[in-house]
Amino acid sequence: MNATHSSSSSGGSGIGSGPLGYGNAPTCYFVMIGTKDNPIYEAEFIAVNTARSSSGGATIPEAKKEEFRHLNQFIAHSALDMVEDIQWSTNQMYLKSIDKFNERFISAYLTAGNIKLLLLHDAKSEDAIRNFFNDCYELYIKTLLNPFYEPNSIISSAAFDTKVRLSAKRYL
Amino acid sequence: MSSSASATSRLSVMSMAASLPSVGGYSSAASSIYAKRNTTNILERHLNKTRGAEVSVNAFAFLFSEMLQYTQKRVNGIQDLERKLNELGYRVGIRALDLLVWRDKNSKRETRVLGMLYFIHTTVWKTMFGKQADSLEKSTENEDEYMISDNDPMVSKFISIPKDVSQLNCGAFMAGIVEAIMDGCQFPSRVTAHTVPIEGFPLRTTILIKLDREVLEREEQLK
pLDDT tens, position by position, for chain B (223 residues)? 444 444 333 333 343 433 344 343 444 444 555 555 667 778 888 888 888 888 898 999 999 999 999 998 888 888 889 999 999 999 999 999 999 988 886 667 888 888 889 888 998 998 888 888 888 989 888 888 999 998 888 888 888 888 887 788 888 999 999 999 999 988 999 999 988 888 888 888 999 999 999 888 888 888 7
**Distance between CA atoms of residues B85 and B171, nearest Å:** 9
Mean pLDDT over all residues of chain A?
Answer: 77
B2 vs A contacts (CB less than 8 Å): 162
Is residue A93 very low, low, confident or very high in pLDDT (cuts 50, 70, 90)?
confident
Residue of A137, A140, A87, A130 whose CA lies nearest to A107 = A130
pLDDT at position A19 is 46
Beta strands in chain A (DSSP E): 27-33, 39-46, 94-101, 104-110, 116-121
- 0.90 exceeded by the pTM? no
Q: Tell me which of B6, B41, B42, B219 to substitute to probe the interface with A (most A C-beta atoms closer than 10 Å).
A: B42
The residue in chain A having the minimum alpha-carbon distance to the alpha carbon of residue B49 is A142
pLDDT at position A56 is 44
**Distance between CA atoms of residues B223 and B218, nearest Å:** 9
The residue in chain A having the minimum alpha-carbon distance to the alpha carbon of residue B43 is A142
pLDDT at position B46 is 84
Query: Exposed/middle/buried for B48, CB within 10 Å: 0-12, 13-18, 19+?
Result: exposed
**Distance between CA atoms of residues B86 and B80, nearest Å:** 10
List the end-to-end C-alpha distance of chain A, in Å, as a whole number: 9
pLDDT at position B154 is 85
pLDDT at position A63 is 64
**What is the crossing angle of helices B172-184 and B78-104, to 10°?**
50
Is residue A87 very low, low, confident or very high in pLDDT (cuts 50, 70, 90)?
confident
Helix, strand, or coil (residue A2): coil
